Every structure is written in C-alpha cells, then in structure tokens.
A and B are shown apart, each in its own frame.
Chain A
Amino acid sequence: MHGPKIIHDENGKIFIERFSLIRRIEHILIILAFLILAITGMPQKFYETAWLGDLMDLIGGLDRARTIHHLTGILFSIQLMLHLLYIVIGIALKKISLSLLPRMQDWRDLSSSIKYYFGYKKTPPQYDTFDYKQKFEYVSILSAAIIMSISGIVLLAPVFATTFFSGQIVPAARIAHSNEALLAILLILIWHIYGAHFAPETFPMDKTIFTGLINKDDLKAKHPLEYNRLFPEDKKN
C-alpha cells in the first residue's frame, strides 16, 4: 500500500491527491444518474402533487418516464456492481485500504463532536482520511444504491423474482424502492448539500471530488491524523 500522490504546483503550493480519476468520474456519473432517476421517479411517487404532475407532462407521460427510469436504473446498477467488484478485487489483491468503512473510532468521534458542539470540549475531534460524517454518507448512499438496485430489479421483472422468493417480495420491493428513494433524496438535499456546500468551513463549495486534490492547509484542518501521517516532519515543529 502506498500513500497518496503529493503535488507541488508552480506557485509552491502543495496539494494531496484524494480521489483518483476513476472515483471522480464515478461521482459525476452518480450525479447524473441520481438526477435523472429522481426527476423521472418522484413524479411517479407523488403524482398527486401538482408541480410533479406538471413535471410528468414535461417528461412526456408515465410511459416515457418509466422507460428513461428503467434504462438509467440499469446503467446505475452496472456502475454499482463495478464499484463493489472494485472493492472486492481491491481487498483480494490488498491494493486498497477500507478508509471509508466505519470503525469504533467513528462512534467515539461522533460523541466527542457532539460534546464539542455543546461546549464540553474545546476542539473538535481529530479525523483521519475520512471523518464520520463522510463515512456515514458513503455507507448510506452505498446501501441505498444496493437496496434501490435489488428492489428495482424485482419491480422490473416481478415474475422472474418470484421464482426465487415468495410473492410478498414484490409489494415489499415497491415500498422499499419508493421510501428508500425518498430517504436518499432527503439525505443528499440536506446532508450532502450542507456538507459539500453550505457548511461554514466549505462554503461555497468543496471542489475536491471534482479536482481530486486537497491543499495542504485544508488537509491539516480537516483531516489532521492523515496530515500527521503524510508530513511527520511538520508535527515536530
């Protein structure tokens, strides 16, 4: 296992590579898939809401919305499978560290973070490569993607699905698909948009997922444990 790339630009600033090109492309694809799926899916769930009914007309009706939704959903599921395959192969070849996997330390960080918010601690917890908020979001979105893909396949091919499972799987998948979608959309609208755009320390936007780079000062402020590991000589000063 090797550390991340450290880049010195012409002005002498130091950047650390946080996301490889593949991860950055993955993020853009998720944005696209998420938008298309939400725009074609939500009018199906909340068709009684007038403006979503108008959106349905704008798309061109239920049949077209469903066709777009199914195609995008299939592509999104393939992307999810590739992501999971990448993790499995990465673990098998010992090429990746599971830095996004929640550990006991994250629960301790949550508790000390809340203590800090209420003023019982002077400083926020010291985070490693990913803090508990980022890990929570990753795990939530990953599990949402898995639930959405599986329930989506059940709804797309109900006769096929019921050859393996009892008939109940279909209405259960319908409820899961529609509610998990709502949960994921709310998570993105509330948690992700706040964390990546509106939080005081990131406003107006955290560009790291698009450029792949974080500057040294931001790394020191947001992920001090990783910073100390990468620049052990600075710690002494």
Chain B
Amino acid sequence: MKLLLSIFISSFTLSLMGESSVLNDSCRNCHLPQDNTFHSSAHGPKLLCTDCHNDYGGFPHEKRHFENKRQYSLDKVKTCQRCHYSHYTRALDSVHYVQLKAGNLDAAMCTDCHGHHDIKRPGATRTDITKRCAKCHDDIDKVYRQSIHGSAMANENNQDVPVCTDCHTSHEIKEHNDSSFHINAYKTCGRCHGDQEKMERYGLNTNILTSYLDDFHGASNRIYSQQKQHSEKLIAACYDCHGVHDIKSKKESQTHEEARAKIVQMCKKCHLNATPSFSNAWLSHYPPTLKSAPLVWLVKWFYRIMIPLAIIGLILHILLHIWRASSRGDRLKK
C-alpha cells in the first residue's frame, strides 16, 4: 500500500515538474519573453511562476496596489518559508529581522542576499558572499579588503580565508555586540586557527587556541560558553586584541618593540592603568620556555615534578603504615 502511494505521489510530482516549463511559458508570453534568468536559476526546473506569485494565478490579474517594488518584496517574503522553513525560521533570529521589525525596511531579507529570479545555489563562489553583504555594508567591506583575510581573498583568490558568513553565520546573524558572539569568538576563530593542518599550510603558529585557553581570558570565556548562566561580563576575546574586520598580520610590526607597544595599547582598552610591565604578563601565543619566560617555566616544571612526587611519597608512607599495623600488630597502645 505504502509503495503504491509513493509511486502515485512521485509520478504526480514528476508530471508537475514536466508541466512547469509549459505553464511558465504562458507567463513568459507577456513577462520578459527573451530573458532566461529564471530558467537558469536554481529554481528554474523546479518551480512555477505562480508558486511564488501565487496571487496572480488568474488572468486577467487582479489589480493590486503597492507603494513600490520594495513593499512588494517585503509582502512576498513569507513565500520562501513554505519550502525553506528552517532557514527562514533561523533568519527570524537575526539582527536583520530585528531591524526589519523595528521599521527599517532596508534591512536585508531573503531575496536581498539570494536574489529574486536569479537565485543560485548558495556558496557557489565564496567571493560572491562578501559582494552580497557589501551591497549594504560597503564601509565594512572596504576595511575587510585591507585586512589579512580580505586581501588574501581579493588578491590571491584564497578560498581558505573567512568571508562574512564564516564568522557571522548566514541566517541567524547576531548583533555584533551580542555577548554570546563575544564569548564564543574563540570557537569562531579557532575553527581555522585551531586547525593544525591549515595553520601549518600557511606557516602560522599552531598554539594560538591552546595558549589562549590556557590564559585567564580564554579560560574565562570557555567557562562562560559552557555554563548555564548568561554572563554580560566582557573578557578579552580574539578580536578585542587583533581587531575585528581590520585584522592585520603580526608581521605588520617591524620590530619587537613596536609589537609590544601595540600590546600595551590593547591592554589599556580594559586595564586602564596598564603599563609595559603589565603587558609582559601576556607571553604571546607561545608556551613559556626557559628562555622566553624563565620564572613561568620554572614554576610550571616545579609543580609538574613536585605534585606526583609528593603524592606518591605520601601514599607509600600511608601504605607502609597500614601494612605494619596490620601484618605485624600495631605496637601503639589504644
């Protein structure tokens, strides 16, 4: 029975799909007869014009009034939800939807990023993604293109570097000052900078993520990201020191002194009275060595040796005590 039903349904769908071009052709008698944009789009072979323009099924069309094209798009955006339910729902959590709801009609909705009739499979070329965001966020795009990531993408066509959606996500884009975005920044950056293979490919430090998480800032944000309670407290995340869209290579600093001077400036953003001496508390993204941080190295190794030795010694002493007391009779009188 089930089999029969599925055969029936699939043949029905197939027949519809076959019909789609025929039905669409009847729209094209009037609407852009020479234009193949829709046919070559991702929806081309699958949808009828009236799947989206469902209130224009009859002919002649019912007269309707819209302020402008934008009003029509906004009015029709719910159409996408009928098939792309999960993406649509996620987009409702985004900063764009919050803006839209607040009355900013220019805030991005489905068709602004994906296009109308020319919808392509998303992520076909990553470069296109930044172009779509740049339609509104062109000031950020300019800064991004100057950064180590953006310039590698623009100049070398590097496909490993992050584009907008890699950090901001694509549908559920959070507000930039959302605390969960801040707390989880180490995961965002860590997706690439914690990837040994990828970092080795570019000759980059492979200790970035572990050294951050070993430090006070990283450890704190990691606990924040794991705990149930929500925290509004801001403890330095990757981009608080390295910049947001304008991330530069550390090689930008010509000398060691120049680099350390920059670090003091970063510390001062939170630790208002920070001094160069205080900034030396940050050992860069490298584990301490006898040469780079002798005190830290010594303390670390002292405990690495001391803790097991002490505990083994104490346990042996206790075992000997029990052994003597049990096997040979405890000589202490009660």
Asked if B140 CB lies within 8 Å of chain A CBs, one says no
Digitize B276-300: 1 where CB-to-A-CB distance is under 8 Å, 0 elsewhere.
0111111100001000011110011
Write 18 A-B pairs (CB below 8 A) sorted by A numbering: A47-B219, A47-B226, A57-B227, A57-B229, A117-B324, A168-B280, A169-B295, A172-B295, A176-B299, A183-B303, A186-B307, A190-B311, A191-B318, A199-B325, A200-B322, A201-B325, A217-B333, A222-B332
Whether, in the assembled complex, A153 has its beta carbon less than 8 Å from a beta carbon of chain B, the answer is no
Question: Which residue in chain B gives the minimum CB-CB distance to A179?
Answer: B303
* Residue A196 at the chain B interface, CB threshold 8 Å: no
Report yes or no: B227 in contact with A167, Cβ–Cβ below 8 A.
no
Query: By the criterion CB–CB under 8 Å, are A194 and B318 in contact?
Result: yes
Chain A residues contacting B226 (CB-CB under 8 Å) are 47, 53, 56
Q: How far is the CB of A34 from chain B (nearest CB, A)?
A: 18
Residues of B within 8 A of A (CB): 215-216, 219-220, 222-224, 226-229, 231, 233, 271, 273-275, 277-283, 288, 293-296, 299-300, 303, 306-307, 310-311, 314-315, 317-318, 320-326, 328, 330-334
Contact between A168 and B281 (Cβ–Cβ < 8 Å)? yes
Chain A residues in 8 Å Cβ range of B215: 171, 174
Instruction: Assess the A201–B330 pair: CB atoms within 8 A.
Output: yes
> Chain B: interface secondary structure?
helix
Query: Whose C-beta in chain B lies nearest to the C-beta of A173?
Result: B299
What residues of A have a CB within 8 angstroms of the CB of B318 in the complex? 190-191, 194
Residues A135-171 near B (CB distance < 8 A): 155, 158-159, 162-163, 165-171
Contact of A168 among B223, B274, B295 (CB under 8 A): B295
Number of chain A residues whose Cβ lies closer than 8 Å to a Cβ of chain B: 52
Bound-complex Cα distance A220 to B318 (A) = 22
Residues on the A chain within 8 Å of B220, using CB: 62
A residues near B, CB below 8 A?
43-44, 47, 53, 56-57, 60-64, 114, 116-119, 122-124, 133, 155, 158-159, 162-163, 165-172, 174-176, 179-180, 182-183, 186-187, 190-191, 194, 199-201, 217, 220-222
